[in-house]
Structure 1
Amino acid sequence: MRFAIKKKTFSIAVAAMVASLLVLVTINTTARPANVNQDVGVLRVAQSIPLPGVKGRIDHIATDIGGQRLFIAALGNDTLEIVDLRSGKRIHSITGLREPQDVTYVPEINRIFVSNGASGSVSIFGSRSLRYEGNITFREDADNLRYDAHSKYLYVGYGKGSLGVTDVMSGKIIGDIRLAGHPEAFQLETKGPRIFVNIPSARQVAVVDRDKRSVIAVLPLKESGNFPMALDEKRHRLFIGCRRPATMLVYDTESGREVARIDIGRDVDDISYDPVHRQIYTSCGEGFIDVIRQTEADHYEVTARLKTARGARTSRFEPESMLFYLAVPSESGKSAEIRVYDFLTK
């Protein structure tokens, strides 16, 4: 029986610790761990795109695959930065935002949605004109965004504990799902109604039925700082990044059982799952990307630790283009930048 249909709290069945960490690798090192299969993709820096004048923390990233653009929520700079990947340059900066935390591009209607932490609103811009087209106003702290292309609904994590449901066609709020605390990263099933939501303040992952618009189960965590999350829907595995201690937890989404835990770098803020290479990428503010290989549904091993820069904890993997993007904030006179990674296969 799937755990999502049982409305109760699950105890954690702690899986055995990963036997050992493998040899670490930096981005300028050609050696690989001896037991990594030769067909496994290795990330390498293919391009660095400067963001001159962008100060402070950089939050999340969205992609425009057809237009070959990136949209970067520069929270500390109160701007949305637009990068052209063909030319490798920033082509525009939208100012006047208030702590932009996340950004979503909806190609069906050529709109960009940007959440603002300080104002509690989601700002809407035309993706071609880049002109302001309006706001969707929530009570406070509009944060993570996820778009459901099937229903045309945009889910907005906000306030002290809610997911707002917005119809992107009308720009109107049509529902609200109450949670136990402020939601951080959350993931939507594409072949089911569930949403998995990180709630760090409550040390839990809430399981939401988006048809019923209610919480149907809870995964309690002993760890804290569970901010990022990724989902392998095909193998029913949920990846949860925790900061204290620095750990990635793996849960079976059918049973609600913890099946693995892996030590990762400190200050993790984004996790991505790569279904082609069956790898997970964790970007950590400590200054590393951990590459974790999924050998089986319940078995994982760290195959590389890529040196980046302190504070570079925001990232995005794009399965369609097979590119990985890392936001590096400005530091010690160095300009902020976006590092674009592709894959080297030996």
Structure 2
Amino acid sequence: MKPILKPFCMLLISMAIGTPIHLFAQKKTGFKVLNDFPIKSTGGWDYITVDGASKRIYVSHGMQVNILDVATGDSVGVIPDTKGVHGIALASDLNKGYTSNGRANTVTVFDLKTNQVLKQIAAGTNPDAIFYDEFSRKVYAFNGRSKDATVIDAASDIVVATIPLGGKPETGVSDGKGKVFVNIEDTNEEVEIDATTFKILNRWKLDGGEEPSGLAMDRKTSRLFIGCGGNKTMIVLDATNGKILGKFPIGGCDGVAFDPELKQAYASNGEGTISVIRELSADKFEFVENIPTERGARTIGIDILTHKLYLPTAQTKPVEPTADNAHPRPQQIPGTFHIVVVGK
């Protein structure tokens, strides 16, 4: 046996030397916290939108939207009177921005160049997530309490449809080809909408996912990355048929971003991490790592030109429970709100 064993061992060694390292160990991102941009005004926060082309960051913050320079963090403007603002959508081809104002039940329209408010549009009850579908030139505001979507024609800024969704909607995305997808948080579903007729085409149950919130898409492969904060799971879904292609452990996520060049999906977790899922092919995915950030950084924006990630958070202190509120939310420490910058 010895004459056979030695050549066999040499064969194994030569195979190992010639095998790419990613087959033995996942390649890490090399990402880390690079900077933080302070915003001294007070108020809560939700979504953040990054536009690398205009080099601007739009941050929902209490009753206003703060606009920062993407490279320096310097303030370059404010959109005022956005009561309970949740999200910011950009229709760059029309030079317009839109904010979803949860407490006012309105959508604010503003000029992207001057930051001047152009119009207030009535929406449903508690508009939360919002995005612009460039295919149909429509803005979708997803209303948490009325459980529907307000569809606004971005050319005229007129509401053209209200779509009942049968549950509480969270983040929505478009495939850029006529389909819109939205998470339904309280029914654990993904809903597909026809962007031309505004009809619901499919309702897909997210088996193994609870309270889907964050959502991003690889348009090239038609894959949806769904962050389910209820059971700390990311589901990868085939947007053409609703088939679940993967499930990965993450944290208490409220936001998801996707980098189409690096083929990486990022889930921002309130525990203070970013969970990274890499797309190896249209049907193969892997968990890469958890990148340390800061506690409370649960939403995320991405600059796809620089590959940097931006996450809002603040320092908090505990609040004593009362008879009316046994589990109160921590209180924000004034002057500590900031944007965490993550990248290489």
Which of the five TM-score ranges fits, normalised by the shorter chain?
A: 0.7 to 0.9
CA distance in 2, matches of 1:87, 1:244: 35
2:227 aligned with 1:226: no
State the match for 2:289 in structure 1. Answer: 304
Larger Rg: 2
Local SS of the residue matching 1:59: strand
Matches of residues 1-346 of structure 1 in structure 2 within 5 Å?
35-37=25-27, 41-56=29-44, 58-74=45-61, 77-158=62-143, 159-190=145-176, 192-222=177-207, 223-265=209-251, 267-331=252-316, 333=333, 335-343=336-344
- Deviation string 1:177-226 (CA, Å, 9 cap, x unpaired) is 22111211111111x32111111122211111122211111111343211
Contact 1:54/1:330 (8 A) holds in 2 = no
Q: CA deviation at 1:86?
A: 4.2
CA distance in 2, matches of 1:33, 1:189: 32
CA distance in 2, matches of 1:141, 1:281: 27
Local SS of the residue matching 2:93: coil
- How many pairs were matched up? 305
Query: What residue identity is the alignment partner of 1:65?
Result: G
Q: How many percent of aligned residue pairs carry the same amino acid? A: 26
- TM-score by length of structure 2 reads 0.82
In structure 2, relative to structure 1, the CA distance for the partners of 1:67 and 1:209 (3 Å cut) is closer
CA distance in 2, matches of 1:79, 1:299: 41
Contact 1:124/1:132 (8 A) holds in 2 = yes
In structure 2, relative to structure 1, the CA distance for the partners of 1:218 and 1:279 (3 Å cut) is same
Q: CA deviation at 1:132?
A: 2.2
Q: CA deviation at 1:257?
A: 1.5
In structure 2, relative to structure 1, the CA distance for the partners of 1:277 and 1:139 (3 Å cut) is closer
Contact 1:116/1:123 (8 A) holds in 2 = yes
In structure 2, relative to structure 1, the CA distance for the partners of 1:294 and 1:90 (3 Å cut) is same
CA distance in 2, matches of 1:297, 1:108: 30
Query: What residue identity is the alignment partner of 1:197?
Result: V
Contact 1:50/1:90 (8 A) holds in 2 = no
Q: CA deviation at 1:262?
A: 0.6
Which has the larger displacement, 86-95 or 218-227?
Answer: 86-95
Contact 2:90/2:131 (8 A) holds in 1 = no
Q: CA deviation at 1:41?
A: 4.0
- Deviation string 1:259-311 (CA, Å, 9 cap, x unpaired) is 2111111x201111222222111101111111122233333322221111221
Larger relative contact order (Cα-Cα within 8 Å, sequence gap ≥ 6): 1
- Flag structure 1 segments of 5+ consecutive residues without an equivalent: 1-31
Local SS of the residue matching 2:186: helix
CA distance in 2, matches of 1:110, 1:255: 35
Contact 2:123/2:141 (8 A) holds in 1 = no
Aligned-residue CA RMSD (Å)? 2.2
CA distance in 2, matches of 1:151, 1:130: 24
Q: CA deviation at 1:94?
A: 3.5
Which has the larger displacement, 288-297 or 308-317?
Answer: 288-297
CA distance in 2, matches of 1:197, 1:98: 24
CA distance in 2, matches of 1:197, 1:109: 24
Local SS of the residue matching 2:316: coil
- Flag structure 2 segments of 5+ consecutive residues without an equivalent: 1-21, 318-332
Which has the larger displacement, 87-96 or 271-280?
Answer: 87-96
In structure 2, relative to structure 1, the CA distance for the partners of 1:217 and 1:339 (3 Å cut) is same
Q: CA deviation at 1:65?
A: 3.0
CA distance in 2, matches of 1:180, 1:99: 24
CA distance in 1, matches of 2:55, 2:239: 34
Contact 1:280/1:293 (8 A) holds in 2 = yes
- TM-score by length of structure 1 reads 0.82
Contact 1:41/1:277 (8 A) holds in 2 = no
Query: What residue identity is the alignment partner of 2:48?
Result: I
Local SS of the residue matching 1:314: coil
CA distance in 1, matches of 2:73, 2:243: 44
Q: Where is the helix percentage greater, Structure 1 or Structure 2? A: 2
